Amino acid sequence: MKLHDFEALAAENRFGLVRMEIKTGFAPYSEGDIAGFPPDEAVRLFKKGAATPLDADPSDARRAAAAGDGEGAGSADDVPAIPDDWEGMHHLTRVKLAKEISGGDVANKEEADEIIRAEIARRAAPAGDGEG
């Protein structure tokens, strides 16, 4: 999901806010709380994995979380570049890159490497198999 998706959700709300369910507690919210946020803050929380929009189609939110940028392959502006020599980068740099790809927290360098490899494979895969 992108900013325009969150803006559309806010436009449907009489207060102009996006209703979000908190997934990871942060002050003053606890896990499971429901709160309204302006669209730009809602996008930030969603990309961090801290909250999910309540009024969005659940399949859109799941697909967005799995894709990292929320739009499948996304556009060049939304998808972080993965250098050819990424495996030689410092582990903290790989963790940062994996966070950008996944939009969520990354526990360690092994998980980061796994996320980066999966993203490389996803980008290399054809958009469709053509046998539909």
SS3 track for the chain: CCHHHHHHHHHCCCCCCEEEEECCCECCECCCCEEEECHHHHHHHHHHCCEEECCCCHHHHHHHHHHCCCCCCCCCCCCCCCCCCHHHCCHHHHHHHHHHHHCCCCCCHHHHHHHHHHHHHHHHCCCCCCCC
Domain that holds residue 129: 80-132
Claim to verify: residue 8 and residue 69 sit in the same structural domain: yes
Domain boundary pick from 55, 73, 91: 73
With contact defined as beta carbons under 8 Å apart, do 42 and 7 qualify? no
Domain boundary pick from 73, 89, 107: 73
Tens of pLDDT, residues 5-36: 888 888 888 889 999 999 988 889 898 999 99
Claim to verify: residue 68 and residue 6 sit in the same structural domain: yes
pLDDT of residue 58: 55
Distance between CA atoms of 82 and 99, rounded to whole angstroms?
12
Domain boundary pick from 73, 95, 122: 73
| Of the candidates 11, 4, 41, 6, the residue with the CA atom closest to the CA atom of residue 26 | 41
Tens of pLDDT, residues 25-68: 888 989 899 999 999 999 889 888 889 998 776 555 555 555 55
pLDDT of residue 88: 93
Claim to verify: residue 13 and residue 41 sit in the same structural domain: yes
Claim to verify: residue 65 and residue 99 sit in the same structural domain: no
Which long-range contacts (C-beta less than 8 Å, at least 24 apart) are formed by 8-17? 9/39, 9/42, 9/53, 9/55, 9/56, 10/38, 10/39, 10/42, 12/55, 13/55, 17/42
pLDDT of residue 80: 82
Q: Parallel, antiparallel, or unpaired: how do β-strands 34-37 and 51-53 relate?
A: unpaired
pLDDT of residue 73: 41
Tens of pLDDT, residues 73-127: 444 446 788 999 999 999 999 998 888 888 778 889 999 999 899 888 888 887 6
pTM of the model as a whole: 0.46
